[in-house]
């Protein structure tokens, strides 16, 4: 039987809450790593199943006290929600103290984020690690429920726009999003939840290898009905390869206010800045294992500069009729400037967009055990993109001839997004509850080309060998409409265990870059919205000292847009995704706890498509490991001291759609310790890649570069001192 758990959190040992337990071409090595990872998962989950009953650890929160906001955009008891929800608590985030969100998020079931270089990332939630211009559209990435970027203007690295380093918790919905969220919540959603303002004040200073310095501050003021908190985070890191350092700063100001008429205000501002020197791929088969090659940087000129701003205020009020109303207007601006070191000719891209939006939702709880919600989302966006190539391309004669110097693209896009939605929940005394949701979303793009139309050079002269690679469509408008129904049924077997079933649909309109940054023979991007249908079945529970979750899922996706080994978009692809997620936690005694997450899945192409002379039908999707997971062993010898040993296991995967090249996977160990020396001072030591393993954060294969990798960082240690003051 497959199991799934959104309703029961992992138990806590004193002040530390581990992860929420949410819980054709065969390669011989798949079986070996799969058995190893399966054994790891069984050790964590079956340990709990073999013990009849244990008293709940003192200080552990009751299930009904765990509250999340990602599911319905207002705080809800986790026990009342039917969804694949996983949580990283504030204590989890303190323990990992991540310098990159991957270090924390990959503890959760279904999540596999590749770090790449510096603060770059590629996301995976119940999916392959997706790349390419529109790949980011498969995931809704948000802060306090507001998407980090506009629906048609995402970026694969946009997680660095979130202030995750100072988050109160991180919530992840695996699989298509709820009725409250639409575009881009195809495979899942990550929501970074910032803390509620209070009078807490603390300062953290951290030092690491190669001159790494980080400062983190939280300064709060409680003025009765009004509270304010200022969050600051800044880091400077040199990088372990030449010209690969970065400086990053983040600021959030948060406030809450209770007005005399009963209106509650809750809002703030987040601003981020990143200046990064980007180290590109190292090339050649297994080059990440070579002591010399893995420390080289073939693209010392590459960089990434990014700034973002978000301003929002939520207005909450209860009407005399019993309806709760939440209205959240917001403003967003994002600017990104970088060299595309992964393309021939190394063109520079400058993209920006600004949005104003409104999230409206109303809620009503009825005496018969039912709940109803309805709302409307509106967003207006202005965006622009400029791609320019300063130097001649290198490579084959075809590449040199068809990738010219000069401007490649220069366009503006205005977009309007509108989405009404409804959700109904009904609870019965016999243990059953049902959730019904429906969302309709309309997206309209107005595109203006600021260059000559067609696949010519900037001055209009043609390229030899059939024309230039980059193709610019004429001005046009495009509209997409999608309807997404949701159904969830749950049955409580008893007070501690339940079984759940869900059918959901996710969707996303094509991104602006997929529609208007055409290539080769494309004259119009004939694209439909990407749609995915998902079925889930699971069982979950928590009792005494143990908790568990597992979920079986099957997802079928149409109109997918993938990038092949020549960096060319392949449209109207059909892919299938099916797998099992297992997770669990068990308190061995007052001092020892074990927790883990194991993921097994198969992601395949399901239609005929020739790429590199190979028919992709039946192949594994590239960058889709069949097995991966983590295992954590925690030891608390005294109230003030906690040590964790973590095993991170990554299975092998194909690095191209043709399944002709592969990465063999890796195993890493991390060691983390927190010691509360006094009531005011805490000392932390985090040692990552404890055995100094040579591995690749990401493996890729390109027709113009062959095997290429982002090498993983070597053994490194970070020492931090936290001071709490008033």
Q: Span 705-718, mean pLDDT?
A: 94
- Alpha carbon distance 61, 45 (integer Å): 21
- Residue 214, pLDDT score: 98
Q: Where are the alpha helices (DSSP H) in 394-536?
A: 397-402, 512-516
Of residues 344 and 521, which shows the higher confidence score? 344
Residue 567 — pLDDT band, cuts 50, 70, 90? Answer: low
- Alpha carbon distance 438, 246 (integer Å): 43
Domain extents in the chain: 28-724
Task: Please name the fold of domain 28-724.
Answer: Maltoporin; Chain A (2.40.170)
Q: Which of 10-24, 39-53, 392-406 is the most confident on average?
A: 392-406
Mean pLDDT value across the chain: 89
**CB within 8 Å of 42: residues ≥ 6 apart:** none
CB–CB of 88/107 below 8 Å?
yes
CB–CB of 71/78 below 8 Å?
no
- Residue 395, pLDDT score: 83
- Residue 217, pLDDT score: 98
Q: Is the pLDDT of residue 242 over 70?
A: yes
- Residue 22, pLDDT score: 33
Angular region, 575: left φ>0, alpha ψ -120 to 50, beta rest:
beta
- Residue 65, pLDDT score: 65
Of residues 210 and 680, which shows the higher confidence score? 680
CB–CB of 477/444 below 8 Å?
yes
Angular region, 252: left φ>0, alpha ψ -120 to 50, beta rest:
beta
- Alpha carbon distance 519, 396 (integer Å): 18
- Alpha carbon distance 56, 48 (integer Å): 13
Q: Where are the alpha helices (DSSP H) in 502-552?
A: 512-516
Of residues 681 and 2, which shows the higher confidence score? 681
Q: Span 654-679, mean pLDDT?
A: 96
* Residue 280 main-chain phi, psi, to 5 deg: -80, -165
Spell out a b/e string for 134-151, using b for 16 or more CB atoms within 10 Å of the CB, else e.
Answer: bbbbbbbbbbbbbbbbbb
Q: Is the pLDDT of residue 203 over 60?
A: yes
Q: Which residue has the tokens 């590749």?
A: 114
- Alpha carbon distance 133, 512 (integer Å): 9
**What's the DSSP call for residue 196?**
P
Residues 484-496: tens digit of each pLDDT: 999 999 999 998 9
**What's the DSSP call for residue 302?**
-
**pTM to 2 decimals?**
0.90
- Residue 12, pLDDT score: 32
- Alpha carbon distance 139, 328 (integer Å): 22
**CB within 8 Å of 37: residues ≥ 6 apart:** 598, 600, 627, 628, 629, 649, 651
At 469, list the tokens: 């690679």
CB–CB of 670/716 below 8 Å?
no
Of residues 723 and 706, which shows the higher confidence score? 723
**CB within 8 Å of 716: residues ≥ 6 apart:** 208, 209, 240, 687, 688, 689
At 211, list the tokens: 């001159």
- Residue 133, pLDDT score: 67
Q: In 3-state terms, what secondary structure has residue 29?
A: helix
Residues 169-191: tens digit of each pLDDT: 999 999 998 999 988 899 999 99
Q: Is the pLDDT of residue 53 over 70?
A: no
- Residue 565, pLDDT score: 72
**What's the DSSP call for residue 65?**
G
Q: In 3-state terms, what secondary structure has residue 311?
A: strand
**CB within 8 Å of 390: residues ≥ 6 apart:** 346, 347, 348, 405
Q: Span 548-571, mean pLDDT?
A: 84
Q: In 3-state terms, what secondary structure has residue 365?
A: strand
Q: In 3-state terms, what secondary structure has residue 576?
A: strand
Separation of CA 55 from chain center = 35
């Amino acid at each position: 039987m497959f199991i799934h758990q959104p309703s029961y959190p992992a138990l806590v040992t004193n002040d530390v809450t581990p992860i929420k337990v949410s819980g054709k071409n065969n390669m011989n090595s798949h079986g070996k790593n799969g058995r190893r990872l399966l054994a790891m998962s069984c050790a964590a989950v079956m340990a709990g199943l073999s013990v009849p009953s244990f008293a709940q650890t003192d200080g552990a929160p009751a299930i009904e006290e765990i509250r999340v906001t990602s599911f319905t955009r207002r705080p809800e008891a986790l026990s009342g929600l039917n969804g694949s929800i996983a949580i990283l608590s504030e204590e989890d985030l303190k323990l990992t103290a991540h310098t990159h969100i991957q270090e924390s998020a990959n503890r959760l079931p279904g999540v596999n984020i590749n770090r790449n270089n510096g603060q770059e990332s590629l996301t995976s939630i119940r999916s392959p690690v997706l790349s390419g211009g529109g790949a980011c559209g498969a995931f809704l990435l948000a802060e306090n429920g507001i998407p980090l970027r506009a629906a048609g203007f995402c970026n694969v690295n946009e997680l660095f726009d979130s202030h995750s380093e100072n988050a109160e918790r991180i919530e992840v919905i695996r699989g298509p999003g709820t009725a409250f969220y639409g575009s881009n919540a195809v495979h899942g959603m990550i929501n970074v939840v910032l803390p509620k303002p209070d009078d807490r004040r603390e300062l953290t200073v951290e030092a690491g290898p190669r001159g790494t310095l980080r400062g983190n501050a939280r300064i709060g003021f409680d003025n009765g009905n009004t509270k304010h908190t200022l969050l600051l985070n800044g880091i400077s890191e040199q990088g372990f390869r030449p010209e690969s350092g970065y400086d990053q700063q983040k600021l959030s100001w948060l406030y809450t206010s209770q007005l005399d008429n009963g209106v509650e205000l809750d809002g703030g501002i987040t601003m981020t800045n990143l200046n990064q020197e980007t180290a590109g791929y190292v090339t050649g088969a297994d080059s990440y294992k070579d002591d010399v090659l893995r420390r080289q940087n073939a693209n010392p000129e590459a960089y990434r500069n990014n700034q973002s701003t978000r301003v929002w205020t939520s207005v909450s009020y209860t009407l005399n009729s019993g309806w709760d109303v939440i209205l959240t207007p917001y403003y967003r601006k994002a600017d990104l400037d970088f060299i595309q070191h992964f393309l021939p000719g190394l063109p520079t891209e400058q993209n920006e967009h600004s949005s104003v939006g409104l999230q409206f939702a109303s809620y009503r709880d009825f005496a018969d055990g039912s709940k109803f919600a309805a709302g409307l989302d509106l967003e207006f966006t202005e965006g622009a993109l400029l791609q320019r190539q300063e130097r001649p391309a290198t490579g084959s004669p075809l590449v040199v001839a068809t990738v010219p110097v000069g401007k490649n693209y220069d366009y503006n896009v205005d977009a309007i997004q509108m989405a009404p939605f409804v959700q109904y929940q009904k609870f019965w005394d016999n243990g059953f509850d049902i959730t019904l949701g429906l969302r309709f979303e309309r997206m309209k793009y107005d595109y203006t080309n600021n260059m000559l139309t067609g696949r010519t050079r900037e001055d209009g002269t043609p390229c030899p060998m059939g024309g230039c690679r980059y193709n610019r469509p004429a001005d046009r408008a495009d509209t997409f409409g999608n309807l997404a129904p949701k159904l969830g049924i749950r049955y409580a077997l008893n007070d501690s265990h339940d079984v759940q079933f869900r059918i959901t649909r996710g969707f996303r309109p094509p991104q602006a870059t997929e529609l208007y940054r055409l290539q080769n023979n494309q004259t119009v991007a004939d694209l439909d919205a990407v749609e995915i249908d998902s079925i889930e079945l699971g069982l979950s529970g928590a009792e005494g000292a143990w908790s568990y979750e597992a979920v079986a899922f099957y997802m079928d996706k149409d109109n997918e847009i993938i990038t092949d080994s020549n960096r060319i978009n392949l449209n109207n692809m059909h892919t299938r995704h099916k797998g099992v997620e297992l997770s669990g936690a068990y308190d061995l005694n007052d001092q020892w706890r074990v927790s883990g997450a194991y993921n097994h899945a198969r992601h395949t192409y399901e239609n005929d498509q020739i790429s590199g002379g190979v028919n992709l039908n039946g192949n594994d999707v590239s960058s889709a490991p069949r097995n991966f997971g983590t295992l954590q062993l925690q030891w608390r010898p005294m109230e003030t001291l906690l040590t964790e040993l973590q095993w991170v296991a990554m299975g092998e995967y194909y690095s191209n759609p043709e399944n002709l090249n592969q990465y063999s996977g890796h195993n890493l160990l991390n060691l983390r310790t927190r010691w509360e020396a006094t009531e005011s001072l805490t000392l932390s030591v985090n040692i990552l890649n404890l055995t100094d393993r040579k591995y690749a954060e990401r493996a890729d294969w390109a027709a113009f570069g062959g095997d290429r990798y982002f090498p993983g960082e070597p053994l490194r240690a970070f020492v931090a001192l936290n001071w709490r003051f008033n």
